[in-house]
């Protein structure tokens, strides 16, 4: 009995070993701060990492509480402060955090941090974001740890989750697609991490890829996250121009205004060059149309 | 779109608005949804002008902003305690948790849309600036006070 237990624990331990990128893989890189800012906006770091209620997207003080079915996460301080934030992290430590969900001390991050999308990014873009963040103000705010019920407090268990959902594959351009579609694919699947909200999740919080970007119930409350595939139940009647304009202005073709979490996202996307929004729009128009799931009747 | 057609659309909006205002006491949820829809119609007429895709017309722009301003005035009064649920409302619980903030947002919306009405007469550039400020109210309020449900 004891031997079986020890064997199971060993297998668990091996399976959940954090998988990291080796420092030697990173190419020599001259940081490009302009690209860093562009990627910082595409990746939306500020939307989660600034203090609750703050409007200052340069102060990555942390502190927002993200309520999920798995408990409440307290977003960390990622300002370049050496004590309260991530000041002094090496390039490879930052890359492993963002692309593998592994901390410098070797523990797993919770996928509330969207590394399953960021894993698709180019190393150079991630390094440029680091350079950009390193130049932002150091903020000394301390943030408490997460508030999770017992089973989810075991970070090591995330190693199993990652076996299912972290394939470590970076974005590969499709040589048969246009540059614009490739750029849009990269932006949406990588830094934009749109699917983290717009692709519905299963019981263990994994994305349901057969319903990619087809929306679903919001994690909290009784709202919905819209279907952004070209289905009639999604945004099928929006043109690419409508989509690009919506991302620039926050207005749908009916002049309904974006709300909730999308406001912060749209504020960031509005700062991107027009070609990036056009690329996102082109990619969304090229997606398979997925019909919205029927809504469960609720007492309204 | 011809000016006469635009004016017709806006007049229809204004009439619908009048109906909504009449409904408001008995059915605040339906009234406030109708008002927001009217805002959308007014925006459809005015945004092409602001984007330079349609010729600017000061009278039409002012009329559109009047429609929006009529909605904005007293809008937040359409959210009594009894209207938190039902009628497919997309009003977020935060409205009643932070009523003072919600009312302040409504006041700002009313003020900014009134400014846009006046600015319309000053030509496209003067209007664009006032319109931009007014349009910022939409997202700012929806950010916290609206839950998307469809």
Nearest to A257 among B86, B93, B138 (CB): B138
User: Is A250 in Cβ contact with B149 (below 8 Å)?
Assistant: no
Chain B residues near residue A221 by CB distance under 8 angstroms: 92-93, 147
CA distances from A170 to A30, A116, A177, A194, A272 (A): 20, 10, 17, 16, 22
Q: Is-contact A211 A272, C-beta < 8 A?
A: no
The backbone torsions φ and ψ at residue A102, rounded to the nearest 5 degrees and listed phi first, read -120, 135
Distance in angstroms (rounded) separating the CA atoms of residues B112 and B107: 9
Distance in angstroms (rounded) separating the CA atoms of residues A197 and A216: 9
**ipTM, 2 decimals?**
0.88
Q: How far is B122 from chain A (nearest CA, A)?
A: 24
User: Is A226 in Cβ contact with B148 (below 8 Å)?
Assistant: yes
The second-level CATH assignment, the architecture, of B3-145 is Up-down Bundle (1.20)
Chain A residues near residue B47 by CB distance under 8 angstroms: 251, 255
Q: How far is A203 from chain B (nearest CA, A)?
A: 22
The backbone torsions φ and ψ at residue A68, rounded to the nearest 5 degrees and listed phi first, read -135, 170
Chain-centroid distance, C-alpha A55: 20
Q: What is the mean pLDDT of residues A269-298?
A: 92
Q: What's the confidence (pLDDT) of residue A297?
A: 59
* Direct distance between the N- and C-terminal alpha carbons of chain B, in angstroms, rounded to an integer: 30
User: Is A223 in Cβ contact with B147 (below 8 Å)?
Assistant: yes
Distance in angstroms (rounded) separating the CA atoms of residues B55 and B49: 6
Distance in angstroms (rounded) separating the CA atoms of residues B86 and A291: 26
CB atoms within 10 A of CB A154: 12
Tell me: the pLDDT tens digits for A193-230? 999 999 999 999 999 999 999 999 887 777 899 999 99
Q: Where are the domains of chain B?
A: 3-145
Running DSSP on this structure, what letter comes out for residue A149?
-
Chain A residues near residue B88 by CB distance under 8 angstroms: 300
Q: What's the confidence (pLDDT) of residue A298?
A: 52
Distance in angstroms (rounded) separating the CA atoms of residues A126 and A146: 25
Q: What is the mean pLDDT of residues A249-274?
A: 95
**Nearest to residue B130, comparing CAs of B34, B49, B76?**
B49
Low pLDDT (below 50) residues in chain B: none
Percent of residues in chain B assigned helix, strand, coil, to nearest 5: 75, 0, 20
Q: How confident is the model at residue A300 (pLDDT cuts 50, 70, 90)?
A: very low
């Amino acid at each position: 009995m004891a031997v079986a237990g020890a064997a199971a624990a060993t297998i668990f331990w091996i399976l959940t070993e954090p998988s990291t990128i080796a420092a030697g893989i990173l190419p020599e890189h001259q940081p490009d701060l302009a690209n860093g800012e562009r990627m910082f906006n595409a990746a939306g770091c500020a939307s989660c990492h600034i203090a609750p209620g703050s409007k200052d997207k340069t102060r990555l003080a942390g502190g927002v509480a993200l309520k999920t079915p798995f408990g409440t996460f307290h977003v960390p301080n990622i300002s370049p402060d050496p004590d309260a934030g991530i000041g002094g992290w090496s390039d490879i430590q930052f890359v492993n955090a963002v692309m593998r969900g592994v901390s410098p001390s070797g523990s797993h991050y919770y996928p509330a941090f969207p590394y399953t999308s960021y894993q698709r990014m180019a190393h150079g873009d991630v390094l440029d974001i680091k350079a950009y963040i390193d130049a932002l103000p150091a903020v000394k705010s301390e943030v408490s740890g997460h508030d999770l019920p017992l089973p989810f407090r075991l970070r090591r268990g995330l190693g199993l989750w990652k076996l299912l959902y972290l394939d470590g594959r970076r974005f590969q351009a499709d040589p048969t697609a246009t540059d614009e579609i490739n750029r849009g694919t990269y932006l949406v699947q990588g830094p934009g991490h749109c699917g983290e909200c717009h692709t519905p999740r299963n019981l263990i919080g994994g994305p349901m890829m057969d319903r990619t970007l087809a929306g679903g119930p919001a994690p909290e409350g009784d709202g919905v996250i819209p279907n952004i595939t070209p289905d009639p139940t999604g945004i099928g009647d929006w043109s690419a121009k409508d989509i690009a304009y919506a991302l620039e202005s926050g207005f749908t073709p009916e002049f309904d205004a974006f709300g909730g979490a999308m406001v912060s996202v749209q504020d960031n996307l509005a700062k991107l060059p027009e070609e990036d929004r056009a690329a996102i729009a082109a990619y969304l128009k090229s997606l398979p149309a997925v019909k919205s799931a029927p809504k469960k009747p609720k007492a309204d | 779109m011809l000016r006469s057609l635009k004016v017709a659309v806006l007049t229809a909006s204004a009439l619908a608005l009048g109906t909504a205002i009449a409904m408001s006491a008995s059915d605040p949820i339906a009234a406030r949804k109708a008002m927001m829809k009217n805002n959308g119609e007014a925006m459809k007429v005015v945004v092409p002008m602001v984007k330079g895709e349609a010729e600017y017309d000061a009278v039409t722009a002012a009329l559109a902003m009047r429609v929006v301003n009529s909605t904005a005035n007293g809008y937040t009064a359409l959210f009594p305690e009894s209207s938190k649920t039902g009628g497919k409302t997309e009003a977020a619980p935060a409205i009643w948790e932070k009523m003072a903030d919600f009312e302040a947002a409504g006041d700002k919306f009313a003020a900014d849309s009134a400014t846009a009405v006046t600015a319309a007469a000053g030509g496209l550039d003067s209007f664009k600036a006032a319109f931009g400020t007014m349009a910022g109210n939409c997202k700012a309020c929806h950010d916290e006070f609206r839950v998307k449900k469809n």
